[in-house]
Every structure is written in structure tokens, then in C-alpha cells.
Structure 1
Amino acid sequence: MAVEWVCERCGLVVRVEDVDLKPTLQAHAPTTSGRIGEWAVEPVDHLRVDKGLVTTFFLGSDGKGNSLSPTQRSRMGRLKARHKRFTMADKRDQRLNEGFHDIRLLGANLGLPDHVLGDAARYLKAASDAWLPGGRMAWESLAGGAVLLACRETSFERTPAEVAEYTKTDEERVCAAARKIRSEAGLEAPVVRERAVDLVVEGLEQVGVELTLRQALELVRVADGLLDVADAVPVGPGTSRMTVAGAAVYAADRLTEGKWLIQDEVVAAVEVTLPTSKGRIATYARELVAIAERERPTAAQMVQAD
């Protein structure tokens, strides 16, 4: 992997990162005490359930390159089918393998290198181990969310809209899946939208809500603190960060002096970026207000806190 950081103004290369991510021979040495035995130098593929360390069947020819007879080909085909059922007997492993396939296709369409796809595979495997797939959180969404998180960790930045374009779901579900993986899979990963609260406040202006500069700054200050709490607890882990940011803004309005917003306005402001609903905004806003009141007995103390 070779990554360069280049100055946008003058074109000067300010940093070069060159790391060989290929597995070494030592990683595939025999596990015996004396390291005696057969060495496995086949590269590991993190985009397969068994990491690619399985038997490979060539149905066209034998080890010497001679063509197989119809009887031999039929026999090898049956062995291949049995071997596949043995290595992925669990339906969950089969679905995980399909998720890895989705990641591989996303990488091809988005022009992502192998090490980014490897990170995405690690996120998806962690989501599977945490039993996150199910209900409204489909494997396809989790695959897109895993790729989005892997991109956020590297210099190969891709927007949620770009990832969702090649995912078998929409942008809102991709963002929700990324937040669920980050919140519940026990992995350290950056948030998808760092300026979520700012985007909601900017959306309020776009939908015709008139706020003074003081009011806007006050909402951003309190809502940012609430969103940090929502990321840590977490609140609404299976929901996009934009929806929770909208709930944080609405909760901040409840916790500050004067009531400047109604739910319909906050929903419209969030939907400038992503779809949401009044039910989600109301539910998560109540949770955030309850957390704020539990940690700080009065709203005045919440407002006065730095």
C-alpha cells in the first residue's frame, strides 16, 4: 500500500506512507514446537468466512494438467459440494459469506484497495458475532455500513451517498448500519457524520425556521453535548446519526430557556439530509432529556455547563 498526502495549493508531497500488508511466511509457519512440518504460504483472504484456507477443486484437469473423464468430473463435483457444505454448514456463515461478496463488489465499484476491504470484512464479522443482523438491520445494510466505517478510518474517503449507490439498500439504512456496528460491535471507529448537529441547524434555516445567532449557537452547544452522550450510551444505535442529532437538537430546545422549535420543523430539517420520522425524534429526544436531567438535576445546570 502506498498513500501520499499532497498539498492542494502547491502540489508538494508532504508525507508518504508505504506499508507492505501482505502476510509473511512466518505467519503461515507450522504450529508445532520445532516449526517442523509443511508450510502454508497461501495468502489469507479476509473476504471469505474461512479466510480462503480451504481445499481448491479444479474440475477441468488433474494435478498433471490432464483432462478429467466425465466420471472423475462428476465425482469431484460431488466432493466439492460436500466440502462446501462442511466448511459453511451454518446458514449464518453462508449469509456472512454473501456479505463479504457484497463488500468485494462495493470495493470494485468504489475503487477501494484491499486493505480497506479487509477492515470492512473485520467490521462485518464483528457485527455477525454480536448478532446484529435481523429485523430491519439486513446483511446488505451492514455490509454497506462496514465499508463506510472502513473508509472513514483511511484516506480513501467515500460519502454515505456514494456507498449507498452501490449497496442493496438506501443511504439512511447504510448510515444506521454503520452506527449500529460502531455502537454495539465493540469496535473503535470514527463517527460517520461529525457535523451532524450543524447540519440539522443549517437545515432549520433551509426549511424557513428563523433563529437568531445566539439561539443557533445555544442549540448547537447543548445538542453537541447530548449527541456525545448518545454516541457513548448509546441512544438509538440502530438509527442514523442524523436522526439522533435531530433528537438532540429538539431535546436541547426543551432544556434551554424559551421554546423555539416544534417536532415537524426538526423532522423537516433532518430530512434535508436523510429521511426520518416524528416518532423517532420524539422517542430519542425524551431519552436524551431523561439522561440530561438524571446527570444534571435541573435544565439550568445543563445550560450553564461547559
Structure 2
Amino acid sequence: MYFLFEYPSSRDKKESEESPFIEERIVCPRCHSTKIIEDVDTGELVCSECGLVITKGLFLEDKDWRAFDTEEFMERARAGAPVTPTRPAYGLDTQISFSKGISQKSIQALRRTKKHVRSRKEKNVMPALFKIRAIAEQLDLPTHTVEDAAKLYRMASSAGLVKGRSMDAMVAAVIYAACRRTEVPRSLGEIASFFNLTEKEVGRSFRFLFRKLGTRIPPPKSEVYVPRICSKLKLPQSIATRAIKILKIAREVGATLGREPVGVAAAAVYLACQEAGIHRTQRELAQAASVTEVTVRNRYREFLEKVRPVLKEEDEKAAAAVVPDGASDQQK
């Protein structure tokens, strides 16, 4: 099968510089003709004037139409939404809307038919997928994290693990798991609050879900929470850098074992603020990290006992290693 295309003229080429939707011009290298024949079966481009085969075995991925403004581009575009686990049927289902020439009764009949042919499996996950997208938007989660949460929920549904259980608790569990897998700093308490659930309820569903699935969820790192806490409290970058150093030492001396990562991060930021003379209360740190004041206070006391002596020793070594210019000249 052959198609004859007359590619853009010089005027079209000039306009193409102004619009991103105009296709590039193809010219025959022998006779400079713009009348090119495309054989869609073999993928060849042939000049209709001199017969030169310009390309062999080329399958074009470009559009077979042109548009000269945004409105025309949107009207003629035939590409659909990308495949994504966050949408029913992975975004491959058909959306039936009202149109001219079709009665409302016919539209409703088509929509009823669509509901009947949709699989039971998709019907079961649809409410959860809608809730995942809604909560993820409020939590300001990136796209790859939302898709991972939807994928985990689909896995749980296929394994029959969501039947007879609270949908909110299961959705909260997969969102928390996705945040941990993609290293997005969101605490269990922060996610649970959006569902009006307790941390205990979400934690129970989380442990049940991934024990049954056999999926390994890496433990969260305290460091990933530091930038978010500092951002909420409008603290300088130097505090975040210092807090991360404190956490590194805390891990070395075993002060983080068995402790909630976000609470440890809040205590590290609080200690960094104390050292820098920046006034922030333990209540402010607790609110920024979505933990209790008691958690911040207890972790801070542990840091004073185990971390601060080591931190002070390292600071003294670093200061001794810096030799003033005058002192180095005297030694010479």
C-alpha cells in the first residue's frame, strides 16, 4: 500500500519554527522534490519524481497528519493516555461521553454495557485506586510512588488479601509501603491521619499485607526525613547538613536501633538547632515530624548521652586539622 505525501513547502518550514506541531520537511537528495511516496508495508520512502528509494525498512513513528495550531493538533491527535496501574483497566478502557448525533438513551445503554463487560477484578480495585490517587494528591507524592502504591494494591487484591478488611487501612498500608520503597519521606502517622486511622491500625495492615505477599520493604532511613522537617520549620541548609552528620554518628554508636526513623530525624534536627543557637521548641519539631513531643524528648536525651560526646570529639579533631596560615609560616 502506498501513500503520496507532499511535505511542507518553504512557507510551511518557516511556520514550523514558530509551532512545535509542524513536521520537518523531507526532500529527495537527487532531484530535490518534496513529493515522497511512503510504502507502509515495507517502510520505504520513495521519490515520486525520479524513483529514488530514500530510505529502506524505515517505520515512521511520526504522525501521518499535520497541524498548524494547538487546537487543530488536539482535534487530530489519536494517542490515548499512557498505561498506568493507577487507572481502571490500566487506563486502556474507553471513556463514553455525549456527542452530537447520538441520543442520551444510546449513551446510557453503552455505559451500562461497559459496566457489564468490565471484569469483577477491576470493579473490586476501582474504589481503592480512586482513593490512592486522591490521598496521594493531598500528600503531594510523585507519580512513580503513586503507581507503586497502585501496583501493590493490585497484587494484594489478586492474592485475595483485601477481602473482609478495611479498605482505608489497606490503602494507607500500600501508600506507606510505596513511600518507603521509593524513599519518599512520609511517616506512618502522617499517612494514617488522612484516613482518620491510628498508626496501630495502619501498621497492623501493613505487616499483614507484606508478610502474606512476601515482598521485602526496606526499612526507612532517618536521613530522608531531615530535608522535609527543615523545610517545614524554614531552617537553613546548614542545619540539615549538621543533622545528617548527627544521624551518621548515631547509627555508628547504635542510638538508632529499634527507634522510629522520623522521630530520630526530628531529634537530630533539634540537636543541630541547639548547637547553632536557633530557637525551636520540641513541640515544633514534633508537629513538623508528625510524632509526639515525648518521642523527640527521649531521642534527644539519648543523643546527648551517646552521640554528643563523639560529635564533640570529631569537631575538635576537625578544628585541630585546620592550621592557620600564620602558624604554618612560623613552623617553616
Short-chain TM bin = 0.3 to 0.5
TM-score by length of 2: 0.41
| Higher relative contact order, structure no. (Cα contacts within 8 Å, ≥ 6 residues apart) | 1
| Higher Rg of the two aligned structures | 2
TM-score by length of 1: 0.44
